[in-house]
Amino acid sequence: MGVLEEDPFPGSWAVAAGLVSSWALRDEFVRVFPDVYLRKGCVLSAAGRARAAAHWAKGEGVLVGLSAAALHGTRWLDDDEPAELARAGHRRGPRGIRVVRDAIEPSECCAVEGFRVTTPARTAFDIGRRLPRDRAVPILDALCAATGTDSGDIAAVARRHPGLRGIRRLAAIIPLVDGGAESPPESLTRLLLVDDGLPAPAIQLVVRDEYGGFVARLDMGWKDWRVAVEYDGAQHWTDPAQRTKDIDRLAILDSLGWKVIRVSATLLHQHPHLILDRVRAALHLQGADIHS
């Protein structure tokens, strides 16, 4: 599709380049931010909103936080969140852009799609010190999965900025980050287990049979005790074909001595105590010396 079809763009640039007339700009596009337009009917993703903010800033700023995370390919972001931009001076952003006054070192910047953004590690550093833990960890898990960043990279940035606001909050979050999580509910399930005093489960456990053949990859669990916790999305409960596969898979795991606790959205958000009771019972049955 053409350059003006689905991405935001600077209106003055498009008119000057002869890509659209002033009349068509008003008639066929909507203004997202001052001098930034999007074709009518198109919806901004988190990454699109970040690009729109960068166009508004006209090169005078660095995309940070959630906007940087979006351009780094982080999944599961809220498309309606304001864009985040670090910019010198005291100019406030328009509605939909959050301007911060942070000074970003050149070594903590990089280019993505031609836009200046914070590096993945600096992006994680900013998100972790600004957002509540249960919101930050799923985002950081997804950011690390998308970029290969790990908790050590985030900690290295934290050591360079010991006095910045939120550093204590970040220090508690860093050990909880794991790029192996494949969805926010998986991240929240892991936090639930750790908060209850259980040992941190390994993520994406590969189970093999006695001959070394692949059997399953489990969301999280404890290999020593053959206990796993699986978060099952709606399709696992409503899709007959998926349900049949799950039954067969669980039967094989059971034959190999594994105990699998399945978690649904209802259990996670409304009855988390049942998850913990079932996990502790399974660990005890499998010989783990886990105290309440």
pLDDT in tens, 118-171: 999 999 999 999 999 999 999 999 999 999 999 999 999 999 999 899 999 999
Mean pLDDT is lowest, of 79-88, 193-202, 238-247, 281-290, for: 238-247
Alpha carbons 62 and 87: distance in angstroms, whole number: 7
* Residues of the domain holding 35: 1-43
Whether residue 77 is contained in a domain is answered as yes
Q: Tokens 């939909």: give the residue.
A: 96
- Give yes or no: residues 117 and 147 share one domain: yes
Whether residue 291 is contained in a domain is answered as no
- Give yes or no: residues 81 and 97 share one domain: yes
Whether residue 134 is contained in a domain is answered as yes
Residue pair 221/205 in contact by the 8 Å Cβ criterion: yes
Number of Cβ within 10 Å of residue 258's Cβ equals 22
- Give yes or no: residues 35 and 53 share one domain: no
pLDDT of residue 2: 55
- Give yes or no: residues 212 and 264 share one domain: yes
120-130 and 133-147 helices, crossing angle to 10°: 170
- Give yes or no: residues 227 and 142 share one domain: no
Residue pair 120/135 in contact by the 8 Å Cβ criterion: no
pLDDT single digits (tens) 55-106: 999 989 999 999 999 999 999 999 999 999 998 776 789 999 999 988 899 9
Q: Which residues contact 234 (CB under 8 A, 6 or more apart)?
A: 265
- Give yes or no: residues 190 and 144 share one domain: no
- Give yes or no: residues 58 and 158 share one domain: yes
pLDDT single digits (tens) 256-292: 999 999 999 999 999 999 999 999 999 999 999 887 6
- Give yes or no: residues 97 and 220 share one domain: no
Q: What's the burial of 263, exposed, middle or buried (CB within 10 Å: 0-12/13-18/19+)? A: buried
Provide the number of structural domains found in the chain: 3
- Give yes or no: residues 241 and 267 share one domain: yes
Q: Check which CATH number belongs to the domain holding 217 and give it.
A: 3.40.960.10
Mean pLDDT is lowest, of 3-17, 134-148, 186-200, 271-285, for: 3-17
Q: In this structure, what are the phi and psi dihedrals at residue 73, rounded to the nearest 5 degrees?
A: 95, 15
Number of Cβ within 10 Å of residue 7's Cβ equals 18
184-195 and 133-147 helices, crossing angle to 10°: 130
Whether residue 104 is contained in a domain is answered as yes
Whether residue 199 is contained in a domain is answered as yes
Whether residue 290 is contained in a domain is answered as no
- Give yes or no: residues 7 and 65 share one domain: no
- Give yes or no: residues 140 and 150 share one domain: yes
- Give yes or no: residues 61 and 172 share one domain: yes
